[in-house]
């Protein structure tokens, strides 16, 4: 700046003149703020949420915008989970030679005959790790976790403005992940067992989640050691659940019921229009997997699990379990 220009500016200031000011940037539009709700930086997302919440138009349209974003991130979580699990399962599969499966099944049978169930449990879990990867490993994927966090964040924002989410995201994701994981695991089974397992999945709404889980684990074990998968019988599930309830309400724990007409498991199955050739009972857990391992370590119960019956049914009532095998 020249000295002449400096003198001129000084004169203007002394005369009360003001220098021209830049116009302030325009306020972000509703569309801009909605777009920022999905910004990669959390601070930007929070600022956009607060501005929309404070504005009349934003407060009116914010619930719909948040719900739409939440639905998109739910979908993203499922997509990322599927990719992560398939990648993990493929990596495990590459490390396991197909020709070793019959050899492992034969070895499992040999260990079973010795009655060393502790050793057999370790062997089976290793077999499962190789052939049926643990879905929990896929849940640790960074992209999956990011999507889950975004779903939770958007749900929290909806609750903050008095518009709770339309569905329970945690339960929805958990159920969707489980169904997706099971389908991938089923796909690793022989074709005839895949068909049975998919038929079982069609009636899962007729049993509780833990009852279905127990049947799934039982069949995963059977297939792992060369047995066929059991079809799931809703009738036997009803009979099993009824016996579990009777044991709780009548305070007994036995295969023989004191209730007239229900003395034997055959009697109880017949009341539901089915037949049974064996039964396992257990008490002490609301979850199905502890039942499986308790029965696994008992030769008689284990023999039922590996038996050749045509179908299976399980029933739980307040931590009491009954498992029936058709004949």
**Exposed/middle/buried for 1, CB within 10 Å: 0-12, 13-18, 19+?**
exposed
DSSP state of 324: E
Quickly list H helices, 168-327: 169-186, 191-202, 209-224, 234-249, 265-271, 288-296, 299-305
Strand spans (E) along the chain: 278-283, 312-317, 320-325
pLDDT value of residue 195? 96
pLDDT value of residue 9? 47
Residues of the chain with pLDDT under 70: 1-25, 92-99, 133-139
How many CA atoms, within 13 angstroms, populate the side-chain half-sphere of residue 273? Answer: 3
Q: Which residues of 247-264 are buried (b: 16+ CB within 10 A; e: fewer)?
A: beeeeeeeeebeeeebee
pLDDT value of residue 295? 98
Please report how the helices 42-54 and 142-160 are oriented relative to each other, as an axis angle in degrees rounded to 10: 20
Q: Which residue has the tokens 């009548």?
A: 250
Shortest CA distance to 268 belongs to which of 292, 293, 236? 236
pLDDT value of residue 12? 43
pLDDT value of residue 94? 64
- pTM value? 0.73
pLDDT value of residue 76? 92
Whole-Å CA distances, 187 to 88, 180, 182:
14, 11, 8
pLDDT value of residue 22? 65
């Amino acid at each position: 700046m020249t000295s002449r220009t400096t003198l001129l500016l000084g004169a203007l200031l002394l005369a009360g003149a003001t220098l021209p000011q830049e116009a302030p940037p325009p306020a972000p539009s509703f569309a801009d703020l909605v777009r920022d709700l999905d910004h990669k930086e959390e601070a930007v997302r929070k600022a956009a949420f607060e501005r929309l919440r404070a504005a009349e138009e934003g407060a009116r349209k914010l619930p719909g915008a948040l719900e739409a974003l939440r639905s998109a991130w739910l979908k993203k979580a499922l997509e990322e989970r599927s990719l992560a699990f398939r990648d993990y399962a493929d990596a495990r599969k590459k490390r396991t030679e197909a020709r070793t499966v019959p050899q492992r099944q034969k070895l499992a049978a040999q260990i079973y005959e010795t009655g060393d169930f502790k050793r057999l449990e370790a062997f089976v879990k290793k077999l499962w790790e190789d052939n049926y990867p643990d879905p929990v490993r896929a849940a640790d994927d960074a992209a999956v976790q990011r999507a889950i966090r975004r779903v939770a964040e958007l749900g929290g924002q909806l609750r903050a403005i008095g518009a709770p989410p339309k569905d329970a995201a945690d339960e929805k994701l958990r159920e969707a992940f489980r169904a997706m994981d099971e389908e991938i695991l089923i796909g690793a089974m022989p074709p005839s067992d895949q068909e049975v397992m998919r038929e079982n999945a069609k009636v899962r709404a007729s049993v509780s989640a833990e009852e279905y889980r127990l049947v799934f684990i039982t069949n995963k074990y059977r297939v792992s050691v060369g047995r066929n998968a059991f079809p799931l019988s809703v009738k036997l599930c009803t009979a099993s659940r009824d016996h579990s309830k009777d044991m709780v309400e009548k305070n007994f724990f036995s295969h023989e019921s004191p209730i007239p007409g229900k003395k034997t498991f055959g009697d109880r199955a017949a009341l539901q229009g089915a037949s049974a050739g064996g039964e396992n009972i257990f008490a002490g857990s609301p979850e199905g997997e502890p039942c499986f391992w308790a029965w696994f370590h008992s030769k008689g119960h284990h023999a039922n699990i590996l038996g050749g019956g045509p179908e299976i049914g399980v029933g739980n009532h307040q931590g009491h379990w009954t498992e029936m095998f058709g004949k």
